[in-house]
Amino acid sequence: MAQTLTCECGSTKIVSDNDSGELVCTACGTVLDSIMFNQGPEWRAFDPQQSDKLTRVGAPLTNLIHDKGLSTTISWKSQDGTGRRLTLEEKERQHRLRKWQRRTTTNNSVQRNLTQALSELNRIADELKLPQNTRETAAHLYRKAVTQGLIRGRTIQSVVASAVYMACRQCNVIRSLEDVAKAATITRKEAARNYRHLYKQLQPEIPQVNKDQLITKYVSALRVSGLTEQLCRRIMEKAKAQRLTIGRAPEGITAAALYIACRLSEEHRTQGEIAKTAQITEVTIRNRYKELMKTLDFEVQV
DNA sequence: AAGACGAAAGTGGTTGA
DNA sequence: TCAACAACTTTCGTCTT
C-alpha cells in the first residue's frame, strides 16, 4: 500500500521501523504513528518452492468449538464465487449439499453433545474469569470424557464443571470446587462426585494445590500487610518441614497459618473472616491452629 | 456483644478385613 | 460388603476480652 505521508516539518522522507512498530520521519525524527502492525509473514522465502511450503492459512485450531473450527460451511447466498446468480437447478443442488453438510457435521450424538457442552463450558469459564489455556484444557478433558463415554447417566453441566475444575487444578489456577459448582449452578456435592468419577477414569496428572498461591489469594482478599504475608509464608515453611501439612486440606492449614501470622503481627482478623475467605469453617482453623501452635513454638503474645 | 473455644453429633469418603 | 476411621462440618453452650 503505497501512501505518501508528509511530516509536520514538510518532509516526505518517512520510514517504518518494523522492530518498534513506529512510523518515523527521517528528517526531524518525529514519530508519526506508534502502533503499526506488520501484516507480512514472519518467515522469509527465497524461492517459490519455499514460499509454497511455508505459506499457511486459516484460523488456529481450537478445542472450544465442537469441530475445532475446521469444518466447511456452505454460504446461504444464492450466487456463485464470482457473484453470478445461480440457476434454479444449481440452487437445488446447493440446498441438498447444505442439508447433508449439516447432517454430517453436527448430527452425530458426540458432536451434538459437544456443541451444547462447549457453550456451557465457555459460560462457566467466563463467570470464573478463566484464562484461555485453562479453557482449552477443560475442553480437551471434556472431549476425552465424551469419546470415552463417561457422560452416560450424568448431566452435561456436572461433567463440564468437573472438567473445568480439573483444568484449573492442572493449570494451577486457584478456583475452589465450590466456586466452579456455583458457576455451573450445581451443588458442591454433585460436582465432587463427578470430579471423582472423571478423575478415576481419566487418571490425569494433578499437581497439589499450590499453597503459596493460596496465601496470595487470602492475603489480597483480606487486605493483610506484606509483613504478615511474609510471616505467614515462614510459618507455612516450618509447618511443611515438621510434616504438619500431610493429610490436611491445604485451605485449612493455610488459613490457620495466616491466622497465626495475623495475631503475631497484631493485625486483627477474626477466625470467622479468614474462614469465610478460605471457604472453610472456624472449627477447622481452630484445629489446625492448635496443631501448629503445639508443634511450632512461637513467641506467643496472645 | 463479639469473638474464641471446645464438645458432640453428623457427613461423605477411604480403607481393610 | 460393611465396619472402622480420618478429616471436616454444623450446631450450640460457655468463656474471654
Q: What is the pLDDT of residue A20?
A: 63
pLDDT tens per residue, range A225-255 = 999 999 999 999 999 988 889 888 999 999 9
A181 in the same domain as A216? no
Q: What is the pLDDT of residue A61?
A: 81
Closest to A8 measured CA to CA, from A36, A24, A23, A30: A30
Q: Is the CB of A29 under 7 A from strand C?
A: no
To which H or E segment does residue A96 belong?
helix A88-106
Q: What is the pLDDT of residue A262?
A: 94
Q: What is the pLDDT of residue A302?
A: 37
Q: What is the pLDDT of residue A235?
A: 93
Q: How far is the CA of A196 from the C1' of C1 (A)?
A: 21
Mean pLDDT per 10-residue interval, chain A, length 302 residues: 66 72 76 67 76 74 82 75 82 85 70 91 95 95 91 90 95 93 92 91 89 94 94 92 89 94 92 94 93 73 37
A194 in the same domain as A245? no
Q: Are A80 and A86 in contact (CB under 8 A)?
A: yes
Q: Is the CB of A281 under 7 A from strand C?
A: yes
- What global pTM score does this model have? 0.74
Q: What is the pLDDT of residue A35?
A: 60
Q: What is the pLDDT of residue A54?
A: 74
C-alpha A128/C-alpha A171 separation (Å) is 14
A242 in the same domain as A190? no
The domain boundary, picked from A185, A202, A219, lies at A202
Closest to A182 measured CA to CA, from A161, A160, A209, A151: A161
Provide the number of structural domains found in chain A. Answer: 3
Nucleotides of B under 7 A from a protein CB: 2-8, 12-14
Parallel, antiparallel, or unpaired: how do β-strands A14-17 and A31-33 relate?
Answer: unpaired
The domain boundary, picked from A173, A202, A231, lies at A202
- Residues 6 or more apart whose Cβ sits within 8 Å of residue A189: none
Q: Name the grid cell of A296.
A: 511450632
Q: Is residue A79 part of a domain?
A: no
Sign of CA dihedral A16, A20, A25, A26: negative
Q: Structural domain of residue A3, as residue ranges?
A: 1-35
Q: What is the pLDDT of residue A126?
A: 95
SS3 A25: strand
